[in-house]
Amino acid sequence: MSHYHLYAIGNALVDAEYDVSDEQLQTMGVDKRHMTLIDGERRSELLRQVQGLQHRRNGGGSAGNTVVALAQLGGKAFYSCKVADDELGAFYTQDLNDKGVATNLNHTRALPGQTGNCMVLVTPDAERSMCTFLGATAELEASALHPHRQMARDAGVALAVTLSDVSMINFCRDGLTAMIGDGLDYLFGNEEEAQVWCDSQDMAQIIRTLSPLAKVVCLTRGPQGCLVIENGQATQVAAPVVKAVDTNGAGDMFAGAFLYAATHGYSHAQAADLANRAAAAVVSQHGNRLSMQTLLPIKQAFEQAHAR
């Protein structure tokens, strides 16, 4: 584990991102702003409805986006996931390799099947609505894990979890609760996810409820930046003002940039500053990740602002 700044376990999903109107989204019967799991039949139905529309294809998966962000910033990352022996699986594996992320995919043989993919439907208000077909990633098993993951807690390695999406809280809360266990080092989520988890819109109550779950809770709030909650105290960290185009991947980028800075000697408030800068850049463009040409100037400006 000491060889990596971040070791992550998550879904291997190839994103196909489409620009659609609110009317199209409603006709398709897709729940706006949230992630919905779909089966193969529903996926085929949705693909028919977007036939002829141009789309953007990228590697995805929440944890996958986070490890890529950390690696692009200069950290060392490992990603455990599962793909099938198909074109999308080859695309996903190559994408991780190109981004400098170490992965179990280079050491395990992919089996027949379908690699997971996610239809990301972006409306003119920049909101993303996702329909996820898990495919092979639904069968992620222990053999995909790096053996040292079992020793993380005993070795004192910091543990982090992201709430990921409101649908994950609604349908997988027991699993999230089990992962949180008796407490994490880092917990990431956005304001809506926090409200659903805490069954409250009162920020003081949310802070009281989330604080015992992790030593550091990062609560993203869109244009308002984020709150960094430690020891029951919340610090507001402002975000750059940008015009939102596409919110897909913003939270994943936030987590990756934050963990990069936190593992490279910066304070948590400083880490949140870098995370806000990077996430703001994501929402101001189409696509769930940033190019190196976009990310490196952000990193350089951050380092100049927090010169040590």
With bands split at pLDDT 50, 70 and 90, how would you rate the model's confidence at 148?
low
Average pLDDT over residues 41-49: 94
Helices 62-72, 250-262: axis angle to 10 degrees equals 50
CATH number of the domain within which 109 lies: 3.40.1190.20
With bands split at pLDDT 50, 70 and 90, how would you rate the model's confidence at 109?
confident
Biggest distance spanned by C-alpha atoms of the chain: 55
How confident is the model at residue 170, as a pLDDT?
Answer: 84
Average pLDDT over residues 134-163: 74
215 within a domain of the structure (yes/no): no
pLDDT in tens, 201-229: 999 999 999 999 999 999 999 999 999 99
63 to each of 23, 53, 85, how far by Cα in Å?
31, 28, 21
DSSP state of 124: T
pLDDT in tens, 47-64: 999 999 999 999 999 999
The number of domains in the chain is 1
Q: Which domain holds residue 99?
A: 6-157+239-305
For the chain, strand residue ranges (E) read: 6-9, 13-19, 35-37, 56-60, 77-80, 102-103, 116-122, 128-133, 160-162, 184-190, 214-220, 226-230, 233-237
212 within a domain of the structure (yes/no): no
Phi, psi values for residue 56, rounded to 5°:
-110, 135
Average pLDDT over residues 241-255: 93
187 within a domain of the structure (yes/no): no
How confident is the model at residue 131, as a pLDDT?
Answer: 95
Would the pLDDT of 142 be above 90?
no
175 within a domain of the structure (yes/no): no
Average pLDDT over residues 152-163: 80
Cβ count within 10 A of residue 276 = 24
231 within a domain of the structure (yes/no): no
167 within a domain of the structure (yes/no): no
- Whether the CB-CB separation of 16 and 56 falls below 8 Å is answered with yes
259 within a domain of the structure (yes/no): yes
CA distance 257 to 278: 7
